[in-house]
Structure 1
Amino acid sequence: MTLTAKEIAAAKERVPLAFQAPLPVRLRRAALWAGFIGLFCYCLWAFDFSPERIWTGLGRLGTVLSFMFPPHVWDNWRDFSEVLNGLGETLAIAFLGTLLGAIVAFPLSFLGAKNINRFSLLRQTTRRGYDVIRAFETLILALIFIRAFGLGPLPGILAIAVSEIGTFAKLFSEAIENTSKKPVDGVKASGGSRLQQIRYAIAPQVNPVILSILLYNFESNVRSGTILGIVGAGGIGFLLSDRIAAYKWDEAWSIIFLIIAMVYLIDYLSGLIRQRIIGKWDGAK
């Protein structure tokens, strides 16, 4: 039975309380909204937010941007090769950090997957380990490793690798848990061992997801590698920080443009790789 708009309006007039939320629910909603608005207003006050400050900051930002144009064009190979070397170093840091993190995280992800690891205590302990690793920001890890290993690309590689172990292990284990059980039952019915079930039933389902995660995080780590260079962990970030500190805004903008171009190129190539490999896997089904 379908009610018309007129019938609904007439019912609201007869029994208006039937179309309202109960009083406790309305009070909770009002309290939540009041708390949210109060927190928002407190943050604005605590952080000294004001239209005057925003307007002044925008004026200064416009001045900085004016220094960036026109962008600097390097007129000799010596200076330009230094920038290219920094870009290549950032790319290498991101690649090695992502690869090392994935190599360590892949076997750990099976310990955190419910359909692989039946021991609840071990599984939960492993998952909490993921959380502990992910609690450390990559920049903090880079500062720690710089104190241990000195300046250069090595602390950046280790910082990205350690950070990605927690992220990859969590994402990989969730992907493993979301696989279908039917292929596993098929391999099991044909007499396959536990390792064979993982190899021939679970791995083909989860490999495209893992590949997509790896490519996306590699692109993200290229950006992270830029930030790590600012604190001394190698890469183009050091050159960018040096140009900003020396007020060479035109060179800084040129370096930023090259970083954007590199990230865009990596994103484009990652899309092609995902499409080609995952497409082949879909066709093999």
Structure 2
Amino acid sequence: MSAATSSLRAAALADRAGLAARHPAVFRPLPPSRLVALAIFAAALGLLVFGLWRLEFSPGRIAGGFEQLLHFLGLMVPPNPGTWSRTLLILHGLAETLAIAFLGTLLAAAIAFPIGFLAARNTSINRIVQFLSRRVLDSIRGVDALIWALIWVSVVGLGPFAGVLAIMTSDIGTFGKLFSEAIEAADRKAVEGVTSAGGGRLHGIRFGVLPAVLPVMAGHLLYMFESNTRSSTIIGIVGAGGIGLALSEMIRTLEWGVVSFIVLLILVTVAVIDLVSGRLRRALAG
């Protein structure tokens, strides 16, 4: 440290009182809210470090895993659907996956539609019904679709029927929450207009709330169908039907060319559904 720098630092320390008087905001103690925020950040950072240590996070293992991943990707090139009969079987599984996603999404939306009105503050019967409806939706939504698939496979056996029930059950909680939030966010002016014209509570919901939320609900349904197409692939691995079952079998028998073909087929299907549903959502919003 140079002599000039030392002299400037000494002068600044000597004039600390003057600096505090001229710049009170800099020397002001941190408010309690800022201290709480810093404490939360420090706790989150400590939890992150502890989690990485406890779960044996290792850059070396990641590097080794990437090397293994590249090896598998090399085995998957080029994609190979195999025999014609196998290709037909894969396409049948894809059609089954789409049917599972469509039926499960539609049934879940139909069941969640009235529950959404019971869970919304502005349309529920009373606070107790609203509270219980929300807790039921939270409980259903707290269980992943894969767990529901394992449950329904145990109940009704292997096959696409269990997949439809798994998607339906999982989406009831999601749709109920989304529908209730859309209902609560609806403009109250339409309801007030119906009420001022002599309409009752049900008339306000039918002619005031419903026309405003139906396009939003339809948009949610289209998005969930797209999402459930991917979910149906995963739950098929546990025996709930669809193309996931074929994918699991090809991975088990190490037929990586067929695995690559199935993965590409799923990606193309999801991309097409995303394109179509996106245009439909924009049309509904417009």
Common fold: TM-score over 0.5: yes
In structure 2, the CA distance between the partners of 1:17 and 1:270, relative to structure 1 (3 Å rule), is: closer
1:166 partnered with 2:162: no
The structure that has the greater radius of gyration is: 2
Q: What residue in structure 2 maps to residue 196 of structure 1?
A: 203
Residues 1:19 and 1:215: Cα distance change in structure 2 (over 3 Å): farther
1:208 to 182, 199, 215: 215
Could you state the TM-score of these two structures normalised by the residue count of structure 1? 0.88
Spell out the pairing of 1:138-157 with structure 2 (5 A cutoff).
138-157=145-164
Matched with 2:6 is none
Cα RMSD of the aligned pairs, angstroms, is 1.9
Which consecutive unaligned segments of at least 5 residues does structure 1 have? 1-9, 280-285
Q: Please list, as runs of the form range in 1=range in 2, the aligned pairs for 1:96-245 lying within 5 A after superposition.
A: 96-245=103-252
Output one character per residue of 1:187-238: Cα deviation in whole Å (capped at 9) or x when no partner: 1222223322222211111011101100001111110000000000000000
Amino acid at match of 2:61: R
Displacement, 1:29? 4.6
**2:72 pairs with 1:64:** yes
Check 1:204–1:44 CA distance in 2 against 1; reply closer, same or farther (3 A cut): same
Letter in 1 for 2:118: L
Contact 2:219 2:284 in 1 (8 A): no
1:44 Cα offset (Å)? 1.3
Q: Name the SS for the 2:124 alignment partner.
A: coil
TM-score by length of 2: 0.88
Deviation at 1:32, TM superposition (A): 3.0
The answer to whether the 8 Å contact 2:160/2:242 transfers is yes
Residue 276 of structure 1 aligns with an amino acid whose one-letter code is A
Rounded to whole Å, the distance in 2 between the matches of 1:248 and 1:170 is 42
Alignment of 1:35 onto 2:76: no
Give aligned-pair identity as a percent.
47
Q: Which residue of 1 aligns with 2:90?
A: 83
Superposition deviation, residue 30 in structure 1: 4.5
